[in-house]
Amino acid sequence: MTAETKNRRVTAADVAKSLGISRATVGFVLNNTRGQTISEATRQRVIAEAERLGYRPHTAAQALARGRSRIILLALPNWPIEHSLGRHVAEASRVLEEAGYSLVTYTLHEREAVRPLWEALDPDAVMGLLPFSERDVASMRASGISTIIPDPSYEPMAWQTGPSIVAGPELQVKHLAGLGHRRIAFAAPDDARLAAIIEARFSVVRDNTTKLGLDAPDYRRINLHDSSTRPAVRQWLENRVTGVVAYNDETAAAVAAAAVREGISVPGELAIIGHDDNPWAELFVPSLSTIRLDIEGLGRQIAMTALNAIHGEVVPAEDPALIAALIRREST
């Protein structure tokens, strides 16, 4: 390989020149073109030389030729990339890669300063964790994208009542109630990006405390990065709160740390349960009771939904509510 070739993409023309055969012959072999009378010996020579030179197919050119980019764009809400969301995306990416697709993630912002990524990538499908706005759907349609998930032609899903939202808070409240706690608080991070999902989970907590005959939950947003959690913990004790449902494990850890610094025993005076089963939740002192959802299963589900939509197939979706699990540890 020449120095010039090392500094640029190896093309089919380079393979043809190296073997002293026509560019067309090499192209037929590398593209696996049907109906050609190329000998097996020549085909093997081309494949071996392409591998030796480090030839890689030009993805954009192949996409243009076959009408598919083999890219799936996952549009994420403007949420922080926490542990559970990272695992969700990683598993979806793994499944799609095995099927020959690349997953590209893109965060949606209310005020976009640049062109949407789907206009530049020409993906085979665009997926969202939440329904898309009419403006975004119109932009996708104008870009020639026909596979959009959730399908905008259907009534938008009430994601706030979906299993992945409802299952965790239900188990959190039932666990504390089962331990005898009658007055429960709900703690959530003071992060405007999470407002919608926090409100959705709190709604589940409120509904379940009502069903179980418990007092109305004391709802507080706390800053996880300063000492503001300590006054909240003191106020809970003054209000005879004995159990805390935390939005996630980070919030649970902040509440537990504040309680310890205030000389409040956990779980003796204040029981705390988190959500997501972060890897460090078991290592925290006290170790955190939490809710484990099959996040990898959700990732596989979203990948298969995309593949089924692209290929025109429909299969029953797995219900993640059936695979939510309570993890009991020291904090309760």
Where along the chain do its domains lie? 3-57, 68-157, 161-294
Range scoring the smallest mean pLDDT among 79-88, 109-118, 133-142, 231-240: 109-118
Range scoring the smallest mean pLDDT among 50-54, 167-171, 284-288: 50-54
**Fold annotation for 68-157:** Rossmann fold (3.40.50)
User: Are β-strands 71-76 and 218-222 bridged in parallel, bridged antiparallel, or unpaired?
Assistant: unpaired
**Identical topology for domains 68-157 and 161-294:** yes
Which pLDDT belongs to residue 115?
A: 78
At 218, the pLDDT band (50, 70, 90 cuts) reads: very high
Which pLDDT belongs to residue 222?
A: 92
Structure tokens given for 249: 């494990």
Residues 6+ apart with CB under 8 A from 56: 9, 10
Question: How many residues are there in the chain?
Answer: 332
The Cα-based distances of 104 to 52, 60, 218, 295 in angstroms read 30, 15, 40, 19
Which pLDDT belongs to residue 72?
A: 92
CATH number of 161-294: 3.40.50.2300
Which pLDDT belongs to residue 321?
A: 43
Please report how many Cα atoms fall inside a 13 Å half-sphere around the Cα of residue 46, on the Cβ side: 22
pLDDT in tens, 80-122: 877 888 888 888 888 888 888 889 988 887 766 667 888 888 8
Q: Give 244 or 29, the one with higher predicted confidence.
A: 244
Superfamily of 3-57 according to CATH:
lambda repressor-like DNA-binding domains (1.10.260.40)
Residues 6+ apart with CB under 8 A from 299: 87, 88, 89, 90, 91, 92, 93, 94, 95
Which pLDDT belongs to residue 23?
A: 79
Q: Are 177 and 214 in contact (CB under 8 A)?
A: yes
Block residue for tokens 């949420």: 79
At 320, the pLDDT band (50, 70, 90 cuts) reads: very low
Which pLDDT belongs to residue 99?
A: 84
